[in-house]
Amino acid sequence: MKQLTVRGVEDELHQLLQREAKRQGLSINRYVLSLLKQAVGLTEQKATQKQAFDDLDHLAGTWSREEADEFDTALKQQRQIDGELWCMKR
């Protein structure tokens, strides 16, 4: 596998590349590689293709049943609509 050095990258371009790479959950290297592949037609970007996220996998299955129930209860309380606050008739 070859390496490529790109010189003369302006600060604004670098910041935009970093921001988009972070938004997509990629390293800047992986993001730039994907852009290069797309530019020369090596990959086909599909609108229906879903991006897989694995940044929270280490948390999966770590809660006890009690912790999960407590979380669900807290969410239910947050999702209730205060009718008086929203001028709703009861």
pLDDT tens for 9-46 read: 999 999 999 999 999 999 999 999 999 999 998 875 55
Q: Encode pLDDT of 28-37 as tens digits.
A: 999 999 999 9
CA 6/CA 8 separation, integer angstroms? 7
Angle, in degrees to the nearest 10, between helices 28-39 and 11-23: 100
CA 69/CA 76 separation, integer angstroms? 11
CA 2 to chain centre: 29
Instruction: Compute the average pLDDT of residues 64-84.
Output: 88
